[in-house]
Amino acid sequence: MCGIIGCAGSEEVVPVLLDGLRRLEYRGYDSAGLAVLGEGGGIQILRAAGKLHNLQQLAYHQPLHGTVGLGHTRWATHGAPTEANAHPQTDAAGTVAVVHNGILENYAGLRQELIDAGIELKSDTDTELIAQLLGREQGGLISRVVAVLPRLHGQFAVVAVHRADPDQVVAFRQGPPLVLGLGEGENIVASDVTALLHRTRRVVFLENGDIADVRRGGVRVLSSGGDPVERPEETLDWDAGRVEKGGYRHFMLKEIFEQPDAIRNTVRSYLSSDRAAIRLEGSGFTSQELATVARVHLVACGTSWHAAQVGKFLIESLAGLATEVDYASEYRYRAPLLAGDVLVVGVTQSGETADTLAAMELARDGGARLGTICNVRGSSSWRLAADRMLTQAGPEVGVASTKAFTTQLVALLLLALGLRRARGLADSADAQLVTELQRLPLAVEETLRAERRVYQRGTEVLTARSSLYLGRGILYPIALEGALKLKELSYLHAEGYPAGEMKHGPIALVEDRFPVVAVALDTPTRGKLLGNLMEVKARGATVIAVAERDAEEVEQVADLVLPVPRVHPLLQPVVAVLPLQLLAYNVAVELGQDVDQPRNLAKSVTVE
């Protein structure tokens, strides 16, 4: 979850490191630090608790000079977010500096071993243990890493420097991602491609167990035993400008308004040449293989889990296949029933979510066919899966997901159509749905043009200490997502619930002016949902509803309607979530919260 960057180049490295950390801060912002190899053979270190700007101020007043170094922005695991626990961490003699993302599962045993050896530990981190172990070995940094790697148990991505070799950065991983950026006169290693795009698009993704020797003149990739290995070079098609705010107040707001293009690009990438049908064959999902699928399991976490819940409705209604949705963190421990005719799809924005990857590995080892829907080509889930669908959201910097979620919804619909076609169920209605899919970006644009004053009124209502979000059928997961967005951004409690279940407990919370948000688009169950809203209105609730502009029956019940255009019933989740994203955003801004970097959260959850 932490952000890591290391660079060996020909110019002053601190600006490169700080710029990379700025682009990685969404991965963690409890503390930050730098280590720079000086010309005199020493390691210069700066660390600061809190957000990156504290480190930037420190670096301005205490400048470091050198062309090789590493940086880190932390999401705290072992130890409080203090300067002492910030990375980089060093060994006792100050010969090795280390930054680290992940968790050592044998932390307690290694810590006691070092204490018994007379080592005085200066932090509570597991990262310091790695530095101390490397410092106790002999030889060059590569040979030290080869010796220490077998002793580290858990999930970790590590970048290190040694003062004896001022031209070298060494990186190694087991679990969390690391990517090499290949430049002219400089080479970089980072935990995410967002830190590299402004300097190079040529990248190499490291595999588990890889060790990278990074120098100004080139990179070598070695196995965990120190033998050379080949890893393919890729050229990214992401635009570096897309990780800048572009005049918007926050990344999240920019990314909300990028959704029409993100959806348009995702749909186009899977259209047939005549734009009349969906073709998944180029991604590995061949019709012959999809025809053998008897069951589908969707595994995901957080917002991606909500997308998977919508996916269950789509796959079962279009393809007639029984579909299960699991939290990936539970799937890996429940001994799921797997076979060769089960398609398991890991849904993950980053492609690096630790629990989702572990669930996918369990499915693969159990003999299931393995697929993924992700937003990063070359990510761990991309390389793990046999069948792959790439959402075209582009870089998403805001921690609370928006455009990655809506493109996941689109990808799941495309997968459902692919399964339907492979099972021989396609008919003339499919072509109409494909046409509606191509019109969807226009409906999204219309939704995002809603008058700001509408959301200002909603903001006034939702600043209450708690609220209830209701939905039914395919829109119930959207209620869950809306509640999650409000929690993530505003720190106000919100609970998503199936509307029909509301009277079986949650209605006890309802009192005068209690906010209830309903996803009330035109579905076969809208009449029942309106009945549920009458129940809470009778108890004094204030009702905000997402509904079509001409939905008079909703206007008669709701105190405020957030308008959306009419779309195909299977596309309703996409347009329905947009007002909830904007509502959560506006509430958070009104309360003065950090929209892009909510407390305690990180973008890419690479630890269990």
Q: How far is CA 525 from the centre of its chain?
A: 33
> Sheet harboring 466-471: ordered strands across?
493-498, 466-471, 515-519, 542-548, 560-564
Write out the E strands in 418-514.
466-471, 493-498
Report d(CA 600, CA 76) in Å as an integer. Answer: 9
Which has the closest alpha carbon to 31: 16, 47, 44, 20? 47
Closest CA to 467 of 446, 438, 487: 487
Q: What tokens were used for 466?
A: 């708690």
Asked if residues 399 and 383 have their Cβ atoms less than 8 Å apart, the reply is: no
What does DSSP assign to residue 92?
A: T
Tell me how far apart the alpha carbons of residues 477 and 499 are, in angstroms, rounded to a whole number.
Answer: 11
The C-alpha atoms of residue 75 and residue 191 are separated, in whole angstroms, by: 13
User: 490, 604, 608: which is closest to 3 by C-alpha?
Assistant: 604
Q: Which residues contact 91 (CB under 8 A, 6 or more apart)?
A: 131, 132, 134, 135, 136
Token pair in block for residue 418: 């692919």
Return the active site residues. 2, 603
> How many Å apart are CA 22 and CA 302, to the nearest integer?
24
Q: Taking a C-beta distance cutoff of 8 angstroms, is the pair 29, 53 a contact?
A: no
How is residue 588 written in tokens?
């958070």
Strand partners, 6: 70, 189
- If DSSP codes are grouped into helix, strand and coil, which group holds residue 387? strand
In 3D space, the residue among 37, 30, 32 whose CA is nearest the CA of residue 48 turns out to be: 32
Rounded Cα distance between 331 and 314, Å, is 21
Alpha-carbon distance of 338 to 207, in angstroms, equals 26
- Please state, in angstroms and rounded to a whole number, the distance separating the CA atoms of residues 520 and 510: 19
Report the amino acid identity of residue 300: A
Report helix, strand or coil for 300.
Answer: strand
